[in-house]
Amino acid sequence: MAFGKIRGAWLGLAVALGAALAPGASRAEVPELKIGIQYGLGYLPLMIAKNQQLIEKYAEARGAGKVKVSWQVLSGGVALNDALLSGNAHIVAAGISPLLTIWDKTRGGLNVKALAGLDSSAYWVNSNNPNVRSIRDLTEKDRIAVPAVKISINSVVLQIAAEKEFGPGHHYDLEPLTVTLSPPEATAALVSGKTEITGHITTPTYGTIQLASPNVHHILNSRDVIGEATLVLAYATSKFYEENPKVVAAVVDALRDGFALIARDKAESARIYLAEESSKLSHEDVVKLLNNPDISYSLVPHNTGVIADFMHRVGSLKNKPESWKDYVFPILHGESGS
C-alpha cells in the first residue's frame, strides 16, 4: 500500500515535470520587466507598447510566460544609467551619448548595448534672450538647460555645434553655461523668463511649446551640424539580453508595432501620447508634430557613428567603436544600420 502511494507520487511528479518541460510550455524568463523612459515624443514607440500592452502580448506569444511590465519616467541619461546599473531597471531608453558612455565603461563586465533605436528626431536650441540669434551670441550671462550636463545627447549636440562654430579644441566652450533641468522644468523656466535659464536644448515636443511664447525663438537645429541621426535608443546589459531572449524579442516586436502605428495613424498615436504623458499640447498640436519632418523614428540605428567618433576624439570615450554593431546587440545586426 505504501509502495503504491510512493509510486503514485512519483508518477504525478513525472507528469508535472513533463508538462513543464514540454515544447511550447510557458515559462516566465523574467517575471517583472522594469523599463525606464524619459519625457517627450521621442519615447512614443515605447509609450504605444505600454498603452496597448504589446510587450506582454508578444512575451506570452513567444513562450516567455506572463510578464508584468512596470514603467518609470526619469530625467536624463545619468539617472537612467544609474537605474540600469543598480538593477532598478532592466531596459532603459536614453540618448546615444549616455549609451556610448555606459557601453565604454562596462566593456568586459556588464557589457551594456542597445536593443533598438527609437527616435531620430532633431534637437532644437531655443532662447528667450533677444540678443542671442546663434550660439556665437551666447555669453557668460546665459544659462542653457539640458537633462544631464556633459553626458546627455543634448550637451553633446552643443559640443559638436561649438566645435563647428569656434574650431577644433573649442567643443567645451559652452559647457560652463549648461545646467541640469528636466524638459518640463526647463520649458516652464524658459517661457516665464523669470529665472536664470535663457536657453534650452530640446526635442520638438517641448520646443514647440516654447516657441508658442512670443519671447522664445529658435537658434539652432541639430541636423545643421550632424544631419539626421538616431539619437535615442533602448538598451540593456548583456546578462539580461542573454538570459531573456524571448522577452527581448517581444520588446522588439512591440516596438515594430509602435513604429508601424506612428507611420499609419498619426491621430491614434497622438491620442496615446496624450494618454501616457501630461502635456500642454493639444491633440491637433501633437498630430502636427508627428507630421513635422524634424520628427522621425527608426528601429535600426543610423548615423550614430558621427556621435561615437566625436566622443572618442575629444576623450569622452576611451574605446573607439569600429562599427555600430559594437554597441548594438546581434538582434539587429542583420539590418542596415550605421
Q: pLDDT tens digit string along 30-86? A: 999 999 999 999 999 999 999 999 999 999 999 999 999 999 999 888 999 999 999
Quick one: pLDDT at residue 107? 96
130-173 pLDDT, tens per residue? 999 999 999 999 999 999 899 899 999 999 999 999 999 999 99
Residue 48 corresponds to which amino acid?
Answer: I
Quick one: pLDDT at residue 112? 98
Cα separation, 316 vs 167, whole angstroms:
18
Q: Is the pLDDT reported for residue 306 higher than 60?
A: yes
Q: Is the pLDDT reported for residue 108 higher than 80?
A: yes
184-224 pLDDT, tens per residue? 999 999 999 999 999 999 999 999 999 999 999 999 999 99
299-334 burial, b at 16+ Cβ within 10 Å, e below that, comes to bbbbbbbebbebbbebebbeeebeebeebbbebbee
Quick one: pLDDT at residue 24? 40
Quick one: pLDDT at residue 263? 98
Confidence of residue 28 (pLDDT cuts 50, 70, 90): low
Q: Is the pLDDT reported for residue 20 higher than 60?
A: no
Quick one: pLDDT at residue 3? 39
Quick one: pLDDT at residue 77? 87
Asked if residue 92 lies in contact with residue 80, where contact means CB atoms within 8 angstroms, the answer is: yes
Q: Which of 36, 42, 48 is nearest to 271 (CA)?
A: 48
The mean per-residue pLDDT over the stretch 89-97 comes to 97
Q: Residue for cell digits 504605444? A: 48
Instruction: Name all domains of the chain by residue range, CATH numbers in brackets.
Output: 32-121+229-332 (3.40.190.10), 124-226 (3.40.190.10)
pTM of the predicted protein model? 0.87
Q: Which of 161, 227, 159, 209 is nearest to 41 (CA)?
A: 209
The rounded mean pLDDT for the chain is: 91
Quick one: pLDDT at residue 311? 97
Quick one: pLDDT at residue 316? 96
Q: Is the pLDDT reported for residue 22 higher than 70?
A: no
Q: Which of 330, 93, 70 is nearest to 102 (CA)?
A: 93
Quick one: pLDDT at residue 245? 97
Query: Is the C-alpha dihedral spanning 210, 185, 38, 337 positive or negative?
Result: positive
Which carries the bigger pLDDT value, residue 35 or residue 28? 35
